[in-house]
Amino acid sequence: MTGDARKVPAGRFARLGAFGQLAAGVAGGVVAEGARRLAQGERPRMADLLLTPANATRVTEQLSRLRGAAMKLGQMISLDAGDMLPPELTQILARLRDSAHIMPPAQLEKVLAASWGAGWRKRFRRFDARPVAAASIGQVHRAELPDGRVLAIKVQYPGVAQSIDSDVDNVATLLKVSGLLPASLDVAPLLAEAKRQLHEEADYDREAAMMTRYADLLANDPHFVVPRPVMEFTGKDVLAMDFIAARPIETLETASPEIRNAAMQAMLGLVLRELFEFGFMQTDPNFANFRWLEATGQIVVLDFGAARSVDPQVSHEYAALLGAGFRGEAAAVRQALIRVGFLSETQFARHGDALDRIIAIILEQIQRIDDFDFADRSFVERIRTEVPSIAADRDSWHIPPAEALFVQRKISGTVLLAVKMAARLPLKAMLQPYAEH
């Protein structure tokens, strides 16, 4: 579902002005909400005043209008923040996954003419002006060549690539002043990595190469279909590829348990192959990047802007973590979690008892994964009871290395889809071949 047409602010000052409007609107909301609560005899905290539904709506609307890195980071927060954010804010930020405005026809025409020349329409039998999808960095159109071949044409929003660094810095500043991130937390390495990855995602020539590499890896896998780029129409701002008519992956929810389980076994198996065999991963777990071909039972994999090589050391540490878990060695699990960077020595020093209880819950669960029911989240609730005290200690907050963070994001996103599908999988048989012995 695409949004309303609205011009993308392309210039640096236009985008800076949009952030200024956002800051002013949020500040106004803080003042109004603060006055209301004071009148009711409350002494509200600044974080409570910032994280109101009204302010979240302001942020959502403005980031949707800006698109680019600003919207992308909002999407990542909504997907990855989990229990760290109030549920109202998480729900509203989740709208960023499908609320992008589209370019007006005149702006679209200007981008395509710059890429293909003024007479570009003569090269197509048909070009649908209304996009079939709109996301953070570009929108996708359906087109048909004179020979009948149907293409998907991804068109990048103007100014997005040039605004990445400033957009990331501006969003980081918003998070800092909101009080969501403690001042002691060093986010500089993560911001640098976010900028690097977003620049890669905005490079459509690179994405075409990543798509080809991924298609080659899965060329003989009957479970998946990967489009191929059409280089004749591909350049810096436009990416052309095969159009594959398929349904959203979420439509599998209404399929039989056998079909759902087979699809999720293929998807989770693919993540394991990416991590341990390919050394190459499509790291964006957004559900929109996976579609379902009902007629053949295949899964279409899309969007390779975030595809990247996996650090061999990260693969090794995941294998060590699996091995320690299967052996039931709590101390080895603890060390593997520290080495891969998910937890720090400081956190174990300050919250060792709670973290050891979490590890014990996980080790207990590993004994039951011959036929794992993703819909049974009772053990997650037990883990959550241990989390608040750790999360409340903001001075011990820790950001894992980017190499592990992007891998874990893909794993977590796939698990989230398995939960949504209420899948039952033979996890032990799937994981053991990759565990370090």
Neighbours of 84 (CB within 10 A): 13
Is-contact 108 129, C-beta < 8 A? yes
Distance CA 73, CA 163 (A): 13
Element (H, E) at 300: strand 298-301
Number of H-type helices and E-type strands within the chain:
17, 13
- Output the CA torsion sign for 318, 394, 188, 406: positive
- The angle that helices 68-80 and 402-420 make with each other, rounded to 10 degrees, is 60
Q: Which two tokens stand for residue 261?
A: 């389980």
Which spans in 81-159 are helix H? 87-94, 105-116
3-state SS class at 183: coil
Distance CA 131, CA 139 (A): 6
Catalytic residue among 284, 303, 356, 370: 284
Write down the residue that tokens 């394991």 correspond to.
Answer: 272
Active site residue 284: yes
Q: What secondary structure letter does DSSP report for 101?
A: P
Torsion sign, CA atoms 80, 317, 273, 420: negative
What does DSSP assign to residue 422?
Answer: T
Q: Any idea which residues carry the catalytic annotation? A: 284
